[in-house]
């Protein structure tokens, strides 16, 4: 209870400070009232949804929208607060100086006009994140992008020269609220006409039942050499309070059965060969292995036990920290690893081919796109769905298409 009182007190103090900038520019009392009505409703809903909340009870759509609205309220107001605060920092010494050097009337006119100017600038700047957040919630979360890469390998079997794979990751079906948008994305995946479709984990938020309404959507996925999948940290049901261990176990079994009904071949620390014209490449799938407290059920050596060290290998591992901590230095050379997990934090700035940034880079060294270390590649997919915050800002939902080419990489 105390932490909520502190939270509300700090927020409302900061909010009142932001309101001073708003009031300086907007003079209408009815709009002032509307400002506080919206603020109280959004904060009240946030407190109502999360008071006593435990992540182990699971997130609902109501929780997600409470988070989205709260962020839409918080971020623009923090911009206002910072703008006015820094203006005050510079204004105090000026006020002291002008107190002794100019008349009272001149002082009042100067500071009033300056305050109004700074407030207008702060409001204009605050409108940018507000518009971005609204767009991210309204449209960004279903703004699917197909990202295409061509990777060259000198030891790729000749039969697989030009072989195409589509990777998707982090579906998080429990977050969806628009069936038609998901159907569109599935059609977009099929349009890529790849040889194989690989899904790298987190098909649900917590429970197998989340996938049931979308089973008849995802079972439309098609690829010549089939569909393969691995489990992500959310698929095990670890973030829910189950009534018994048996119920948790049954949930995982139900999830496995649903994946099979969709058409996925679920790889649980095991491998399969993809064959073409008498040649083959090894597809290795591990269970979730994540650094920093995430589940470490993945067993790379067990998964690769039935393949040869010299095989061309594609590894599916949900969490990119596995690649960093275990895979790169393994005795087996894993030519290409496919991961997800980070979502690119669903927020960032990207100029394709030039620049990408997200706060998640401070948590994960490899967080989005293609990386190469010691002659091995990893692609970290930005995710198909979304979690907690019901939107995406600058980091769009991703469908990855990778073409394998035999030969040296062009200079």
- Range from 27-41, 89-103, 189-203, 397-411 that averages highest in pLDDT: 189-203
Per-residue model confidence (pLDDT) at position 106:
47
Domain map (residue ranges) of the chain: 2-138, 142-406
Phi, psi of 272 (to 5 degrees): -135, 160
Per residue in 47-62, pLDDT (tens digit) is 888 877 776 677 788 8
Per-residue model confidence (pLDDT) at position 94:
60
In Å, how far are 27, 87, 158, 401 from 155, measured between CA atoms? 71, 61, 8, 20
The answer to whether 286 and 317 have CB atoms below 8 angstroms apart is yes
Give me the count of residues in the chain. Answer: 411
Per residue in 129-165, pLDDT (tens digit) is 899 999 999 999 999 999 999 999 999 999 999 999 9
d(CA 207, CA 204): 6
Phi, psi of 308 (to 5 degrees): -90, 145
In percent, the amount of the chain with pLDDT more than 90 equals 69
Q: Which helix (H) or strand (E) holds 185?
A: helix 179-191
Q: Model's pTM, two decimal places?
A: 0.90
Angle at 152 between CA 320 and CA 306, to 5 degrees: 60
Q: Helix, strand, coil % (nearest 5) of the chain?
A: 50, 20, 35
pLDDT confidence band for 14 (50 / 70 / 90): confident
Per-residue model confidence (pLDDT) at position 140:
96
Average pLDDT over the chain reads 90
DSSP 191-208: HT--SEEEE-S--SSS-G
Per-residue model confidence (pLDDT) at position 410:
83
User: Helices 29-50 & 61-101, crossing angle to 10 degrees?
Assistant: 130
Per-residue model confidence (pLDDT) at position 1:
64
β-sheet bridge partners, residue 370:
379
pLDDT, average across residues 322-342: 97
pLDDT confidence band for 230 (50 / 70 / 90): very high
Q: Please state which of the ranges 41-45, 304-308, 313-317, 366-370 shows the lowest mean pLDDT.
A: 41-45
Residue in 342, 344, 343, 339 with CA at minimum distance from that of residue 358? 344
Task: Tell me how many helices (H) and strands (E) the chain has.
Answer: 9, 14
pLDDT at 254 > cutoff 70: yes
The answer to whether 386 and 343 have CB atoms below 8 angstroms apart is yes
Q: Which two tokens stand for residue 321?
A: 């920290």
The answer to whether 337 and 298 have CB atoms below 8 angstroms apart is no
pLDDT at 86 > cutoff 90: no
Q: Please state which of the ranges 34-43, 51-60, 296-305 shows the lowest mean pLDDT.
A: 51-60
pLDDT at 197 > cutoff 80: yes
pLDDT confidence band for 328 (50 / 70 / 90): very high
Give the CATH H-level superfamily of domain 142-406. Answer: Metallo-dependent phosphatases (3.60.21.10)
pLDDT confidence band for 102 (50 / 70 / 90): low
- Class of residue 59 by CB neighbours under 10 A (exposed 0-12, middle 13-18, buried 19+): buried
Per-residue model confidence (pLDDT) at position 409:
85
């Amino acid at each position: 209870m105390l932490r909520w009182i502190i939270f509300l007190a700090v927020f409302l103090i900061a909010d009142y400070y932001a309101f001073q900038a708003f009031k300086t520019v907007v003079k209408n009392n009815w709009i002032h009232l509307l400002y506080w009505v919206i603020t109280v409703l959004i904060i009240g809903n946030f407190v109502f949804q999360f008071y006593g909340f435990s992540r182990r009870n699971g997130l609902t759509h109501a929780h997600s929208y409470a988070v989205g609205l709260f962020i839409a309220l918080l971020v623009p107001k923090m911009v206002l607060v910072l703008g006015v605060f820094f203006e005050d920092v510079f204004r105090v010494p000026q006020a002291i100086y002008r107190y002794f050097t100019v008349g009272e009337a001149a002082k009042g006119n100067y500071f009033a006009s300056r305050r109004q100017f700074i407030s207008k600038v702060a409001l204009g700047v605050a409108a940018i994140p507000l518009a971005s957040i609204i767009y991210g919630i309204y449209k960004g979360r279903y703004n699917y992008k197909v990202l295409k890469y061509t990777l060259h390998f000198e030891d790729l079997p000749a039969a697989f020269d030009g072989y195409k794979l589509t990777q998707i990751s982090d579906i998080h079906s429990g977050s969806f609220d628009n069936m038609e948008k998901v159907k569109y994305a599935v059609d977009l995946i099929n349009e890529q006409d790849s040889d194989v479709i690989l899904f790298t984990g987190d098909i649900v938020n917590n429970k197998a039942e989340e996938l049931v309404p979308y089973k008849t959507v995802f079972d439309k996925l098609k690829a010549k050499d089939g569909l393969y999948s691995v489990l992500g940290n959310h698929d095990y049901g670890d973030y829910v309070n189950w009534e018994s261990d048996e119920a948790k176990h049954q949930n995982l079994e139900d999830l496995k059965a649903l994946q099979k009904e969709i058409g996925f071949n679920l790889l649980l620390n095991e491998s399969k060969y993809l064959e073409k014209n008498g040649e083959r490449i090894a597809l290795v799938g591990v269970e979730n292995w994540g650094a920093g407290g995430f589940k470490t059920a993945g067993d790379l050596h067990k998964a690769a036990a039935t393949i040869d060290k010299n095989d061309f290998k594609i590894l599916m591992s949900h969490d990119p920290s596995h690649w960093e901590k275990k895979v790169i230095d393994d005795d087996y050379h894993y030519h290409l690893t496919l991961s997800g997990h980070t979502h690119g934090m669903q927020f960032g700035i990207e100029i394709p081919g030039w620049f990408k940034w997200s706060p998640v880079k401070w948590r994960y060294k490899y967080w989005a796109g293609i990386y190469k270390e010691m002659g091995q590649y990893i692609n970290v997919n930005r995710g198909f769905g979304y979690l907690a915050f019901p939107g995406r800002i600058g980091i769009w939902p991703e469908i990855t298409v990778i073409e394998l080419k035999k030969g040296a990489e062009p200079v």
